[in-house]
Chain A
Amino acid sequence: MQANSLKHRSNNPLTPEQTELLERLAAPLSPEQAHWIAGYLTGIHASPQTPSQPTATPLTILYGSESGNSETLAEQARRRAEETGLSARVFDMADYRRRDLRDERLIMIITATHGEGDPPDPAEDFYHFLHSRKAPKLAGVKFAVLALGDSSYEHFCQTGRDFDNRLEALGAERIQERVDCDVDYEDSAHAWIEKTLSAFAGHTETAASSPDNIVSLTEAAKRAESTVYGKNNPFPAEILDSINLNGRGSDKETRHIELDIAGSGMHYEPGDVACILPENHPDIVNELIDTLGMDASASIHGRNGETTLEEALRRDHEITAVTPPFIQAWAELADSATLREKAADGNRRQLLAWAADRRIADVLREYPATNVDAARFIETLRPLLPRDYSIASSLNANPDEIHLTVAAVRYHTELGYREGVASTWLADRLEPGDTVPVYIKRNKNFKLPADQGAPVIMVGPGTGVAPFRAFLEERDYQEAGGKNWLFFGDRRFRTDFLYQIEWQRWLKDGLLTRLEVAFSRDGQEKVYVQDRMREHARELYDWLEAGAYFYVCGDAEYMAPDVHRALIEIVRDQGGLSNEQAQEYVKQLQRDKRYQRDVY
């Protein structure tokens, strides 16, 4: 079994003793025994209340309803199921957790059709998920669909039909033919429910022996393989989805990007960072080549062997940001006294300011050089560096996926419009289906407390909220008991409340204990996260005293220092401490790793 390699697994979460024990136990196991233990272990996870009881496969009834008919039927179906001794659960598709789908065995769908053959509003998300490339394979699942509709519409019961076909396409087995009910649906619906329940009744074996548990164990084992990907051999991850999180009328664009890392064996934990190797904008590449009067197809020896000039400039080198070394190098190529003068030590300040406004093409135009050879020019350029993005997802909650929250960098200088290389490449030029070179960078200094009961305070305005989405997904998955408090801020409530409905759901669930928001451009006076912290100084201090962990992520230039100052003040005022004592208190938090930052 996999056990004998356990020790060498970089991410083995067990203590040496536990590893010892597990290996001793696992070594002599027969496959059946392994099976049973697998089921038992997943059993523990699935229902902590009844660890040793392998639970009977529950029938999951999902409904999509707008005016309540399907909902009522779904409830009735559940009651009938219970009466006939089947354990069954009902979910509004809107509230159903997608990732649970992998573990389903028996699914009953009751759905209406609305709009022009569209799914009912609340079912839309689930419908699109199931029809997307993200939908899990459903081999071994048994299902039946009841469709409600109105035959006077063109697309009669369309949504029911779609679900019916899609589930089959995903490998699930239809154990009862779909019935399309018209507006007088009651009788046919009830008849169908009875038939279908008895059909299901035949298939309720116990969870422990159902095959997918081994899968999940080997899955885990597979994931456990430590990643070998890095800057020089990133994993080409397919983009599954790319969404602008900013509503209409916003002056920002923040992209939620979902990457597929299936089969990569890549593993990460909340707080880790994904590194993306971007490409330069072809227009800028061409602009450069034209300015230099070079031949795009000229072959040169790039960092990754022989390529064309065009290719090298697009993929291997930083060709926008102007750096002092470049200025020096170019001063020589252009043989320009003024540039040498600029680049000279001493006036670095002005140099940087001057450089900040310019892109390399600007410099080339201001200080032209004649017949520069491509290879030499390339040497003046810095390699195109990977960009870091705090991972916004938990691997446990989203197996095989990495989610990112990327703010498109766009701004103007005297010399014109500028845009960030990686962020706008991701935002403007890539779409689902394209691939992105990515690898993981561990961040040991930004991790959830090992103690699942510890309270957590998270301060993450703007894209700084990304890792906290991962934190909460993880704590949700762990069913961690600790309280969670998030401070979020951005420009406008209506358009810039990143992941709003997810926070709202977690507040409703109780996973998120408190959520404080600060929007700087809604009211007369600007409010920021640190202001909200001050407003709740007392509670915040009490949380810290109760052992809370304090996390800050996002802007390093203004936000992080402001938050840091606010934290010290709060500790000082609420704890009745002197400035020095307050600073010491906060330092101690840092030493204890109870104050962690991921700022950029």
Chain B
Amino acid sequence: MTEEDRSRDVSQPLERLHPNERLKAGSNYLRGTIDEGLADAVTGGISEDDNQLLKFHGMYQQDDRDLRSERRRQKLEPAYQFMVRVRLPGGLCRTRQWLDLDKLAHDYGNGSLRLTTRQTFQFHGVLKRDLKRTVQGLNAALLDTIAACGDDNRGVMCAVNPHESAVHAEVQSLAKTVSDHLLPRTRAWHEIWLDEERIADSGDEKVEPIYGVTYLPRKFKIGFAVPPVNDIDVYSQDIGFIAIVENGELSGFNVCAGGGMGRTDNEPDTYPRLADVIGFCRPDQVVDTAEKIVTIQRDYGDRVDRKRARMKYTIDDRGVDWFKSKLEARLGWSLQPAREFRFEHNGDRYGWLQGDNGFWHYTLFIENGRIRDEGNYRLMTCLREIARVHGGDFLLTPNQNLNITGISPGRRDQIEDLIRECGLCDPDHYSVLRRNSMACVAFPTCGLAMAESERYLPGLITKLEHIMETAGIGDVPVTVRMTGCPNGCVRPYLAEIGFTGRGPGKYDVYLGGGFHGQRLNKPWLDNVDEKTILEQLAPILHRYARERHTEEPFGDFVIRAGYVPEVKQGRDFNSDY
């Protein structure tokens, strides 16, 4: 399409756009009929339209898919329940809040907490009649769910531990500032969930100065990374800020734009894409830069086809140069040339680490981010105990793990004992391969899942571990990521070995992702079962064990060895080879 083609964006009359655009415009700033829906006693669900709007409030209607057919036969509606996602910019959470969340999960949720790949908490299994109480409980804990989902700027990522250094603290607070700045301004959330008095709103622009009545064409994601750690997968974000630290000082950020993972099977014009680095800006220019990029996507993003409504396509369809000049025109100043930086990995650093100020930090591996008590593995109880004694904070990592931050030297032993008592670091929860793996939620709650993920990956990992052990590379980190569908919620297209679900027990398999998130992987096997997966992977892993160069990551090896071609840009992801 030509750069200025406006046939599919917000400039068009609503009738020409996707029904969701009409819905948003007619929703009176995200109010819709959610109130009535909550009051309807005949169903445990809400209308499809309200469900679309509910996302902007941080909640999703779901149903227990394990029970779906059984209940249909019983003439019962699906076991409707809700997923509630907390907004937690930068993934920071106080110990008090942890205890409150733990209680809410038991009172209203399914007794578990889920740490997500964007550093926040999710409750699952909340019934309609408990939704309001849940949100009010969060509000009491000084938390909310505004824009945790929906066509708006989602939770801003920033996995840096503020206690680690002054620079880290500065980046963290910037992330928070950007998040606050891009928050929807409508009072709908407060009215519906906190019964706030409705004040007549005055004129459209006033209500949503940045977004307008139809908000963004699609979800929007921003993240901050501090080299050498690329734990947030900065290139997968719509906007990524890469901190540039020069002689101990934060001089600014390289700005990258147009990343995204989501794709759809059998639709080659949908694909994962890595963000392009388009320049450098000073810390004081970050908020402005973020806002202007958002407005470009607001004005030019595709509002006809939601599958192509992400900014990555806006940029690919018009070119990076077009995008950059648009941005600079709106900013009224030019980005400086990008500066030097170096990433080493996109995983987490586990175990103990001491910050500048002498305080300790412990990063704990949480398999697939699921926190619950299972038999004698009493993770949830143990973390509750830690929260009780631990004075500092918790930092949720982008790899679904947990960083217990700011442990005073005096407390270190106590925390360590608790961790040991609860067996949180015994080997079978702790192999190198497992620690570098992630799975999305998928069944039974995710409505889009086509195959198991969270409930299945642990077992598959055990089998892969065995192969790697026998190949003598049990200690070599390889990133493995699995999702139950091609949406890519754990950024599987950046994994060295990626899986996305196609149907029950069937997966597409990808190879060749970059170890520090710098390169997309490539589709390798199509719609295969476990047997095939193991049969096909085993020889490659053995050969890797024999032929790898020192320090050569698996993702690089499979390309050198010719199993898959290198993917240089998102457009090539689907091309044959």
Contacts and interface: CB of A to CB of B under 8 A. Distances in A.
Interface string A123-134: 011000000000
A326 interface: no
Contacts of A183: 265-266
A7 interface: no
A379 B503 CA distance: 64
Nearest to A115: B504
B75 interface: yes
A504 B72 contact: no
A101 interface: no
A503 B42 contact: yes
B353 interface: no
A499 B44 contact: no
Interface string B504-546: 1110000000000000000000110000000000000000000
A256 interface: yes
Contacts of B42: 500, 503-504, 507, 515, 517
B41 A517 contact: yes
Nearest to B64: A248
B68 A121 contact: yes
Given A124-B69, A245-B76, A517-B41, A494 B506 contact: no
B74 A244 contact: yes
B44 A504 contact: no
A499 B75 CA distance: 5
A175 B70 CA distance: 36
Contact of B75 (A115, A184, A243, A522): A243
Interface string A501-527: 111100100000001010000100000
Interface residues on B, range: 20 to 34
B61 to A, nearest CB: 15
Contact of A504 (B67, B70, B77, B504): B77
Nearest to A154: B506
B75 A501 contact: yes
Contacts of B295: none
A124 B73 CA distance: 9
Contact of A245 (B74, B129, B266): B74
B44 A494 contact: yes
B373 to A, nearest CB: 20
Contacts, number: 67
A150 interface: yes
Contacts of B68: 121
B70 A256 contact: no
A245 B75 contact: yes
A499 B42 CA distance: 12
A493 B44 contact: yes
A114 B265 CA distance: 14
Interface residues of A, number: 33
A500 B504 contact: no
Interface string A235-273: 000000001111110000000100000000000000000
Q: Which of B72, B129, B265 has the most CB of A within 10 A?
A: B72
A116 B266 contact: no
B72 A125 contact: yes
A152 interface: yes
A477 interface: no
Q: Which of A116, A150, A152, A503 has the most CB of B within 10 A?
A: A152
Contacts of A522: 129
B76 A500 contact: yes
B257 interface: no
Nearest to A512: B42
Given A116-B503, A517-B42, A494 B75 contact: no
B153 to A, nearest CB: 28
B79 A494 contact: yes
B229 interface: no
B506 A243 contact: no
Contacts of B73: 243
A174 B506 CA distance: 34
Interface string A209-253: 000000000000000000000000000000000011111100000
A522 B265 CA distance: 42
A124 B71 CA distance: 12
A114 B506 CA distance: 12
Nearest to B68: A121
Interface of B: 41-44, 67-77, 79, 127, 129, 265-266, 502-506, 526-527
11 contacts: A116-B504, A116-B505, A152-B502, A153-B503, A247-B76, A256-B75, A494-B44, A494-B79, A497-B76, A500-B42, A504-B42
- Pairs of residues from A and B, 4 with the lowest C-beta to C-beta distance, nearest first: A183-B266, A152-B527, A116-B504, A499-B75
